Amino acid sequence: MKTVAMVLFPDFLLLDMAGPMEVFSVANRYLKPDDHYQLITVGTEHGPLLASNGVRVLPDRHIDESSPDYDLLLVPGGPGAYNEKHPPLLTWLQDAVRRAERYGSICTGAFVLGHAGLLDGYRVTTHWNYLERLIRAFPLAQVESDRIYTEDRNLITSGGVTAGIDLALAVVAQDHGKKVAQDVAKVLLVVMKRQGGQAQFSPLMAAVAPHETPITRVQNFVLEHLDQAFTVQDMAALANMSARHFARVFLREVNMTPMEFLQRARVDQARNLLETTELPLKTVAYKSGFGSVRHMRILFAQKLGLTPAQYREQFS
């Protein structure tokens, strides 16, 4: 029997807890009793804890009363994960993960692990909307932006919210085989492997900084004229810089190359048109500056793991 412990704290996201725990619970229907998952909730406070949606949950144990010898130790996300540090929990986690077979986080629970010093040197992910914040907060972690979940040695982290279900299904598949995980996925009406990564659900391009600089002026001009062709030299001329100097400054200020920015902007423009209009793919490609449906399809496959037609079918 494997023990799965979910650590709870004030203002946690209830779905981050309930989704993965339901996966393990349903898996027990298909497993022999000796192979069952034992599910435990561990709280940072005595008594019920208030989730971010207002629901109160009474943990099975308090961290001071809990033996940390768990097979899998998970931390959910929520406002309490990225806005608070919970010092007693951080100290407890530092000891608990050394004694656990595996540990991980759901969504923004990665911030709790980060504050405990447990992400340094690992490949990790979190909700797409908090990726930049995670990168800034924990520069020694290798943050992957387009993953539903990421495994690195005994650490497993997931993207936003429902990606915790994907994480739990992956654990079940590793523990008991793909057939059991598929049976659980069917009961929960989810797919075992989603097309594309979590970037398909998120804007790919970071917002242009509000203060005006030569670089932000170029960004805004490009965004307003995406149907036009641009080279690095074209963009550098708009900033009155040499191409080499412009590329260096752009990378430093935007954390991506000029051409990466242009590609992401074109993909975002196309996504918006696919979601909100019924324009033919050829027109979408033209308005987004791809030049051809083929080029748009190639970029969509690289960035989203989907074709434009598949994206429209899923999100329009």
HSE-CB at 64 with a 13 A cutoff on CA atoms is 5
Q: What is the distance between the alpha carbons of residues 103 and 153, in angstroms, rounded to a whole number?
A: 10
Nearest to 10 by CA among 38, 61, 45: 45
Residue 107 among the catalytic residues: yes
Spatial CB neighbours of 304, under 8 Å, sequence gap ≥ 6:
196, 197, 199, 200, 267, 311
Of 154, 152, 147, 172, nearest to 305 (Cα)? 147
Determine the Cα–Cα distance for residues 31 and 34; give it in Å rounded to an integer. Answer: 8
Length of the chain, please?
A: 316
For residue 208, the 8-state DSSP code is: P
Characterize the bridge pairing of strands 2-8 and 37-43: parallel
Specify burial of residue 58 (Cβ count, 10 A radius: 0-12, 13-18, 19+): exposed
Q: Is residue 262 packed enough to be buried (19+ CB in 10 Å), middle (13-18) or exposed (0-12)?
A: buried
Query: Which tokens in the block code for residue 179?
Result: 């057939």
Query: Strand, helix or coil at 204?
Result: coil
**Residue of 107, 110, 116, 124 with catalytic role:** 107
- Count of Cβ atoms closer than 10 Å to residue 228 Cβ: 10
Q: Can you tell me the distance from the alpha carbon of 105 to that of 156, in angstroms, rounded to the nearest whole number?
A: 7
Eight-state DSSP code of residue 109: G
Residues classed as catalytic? 107
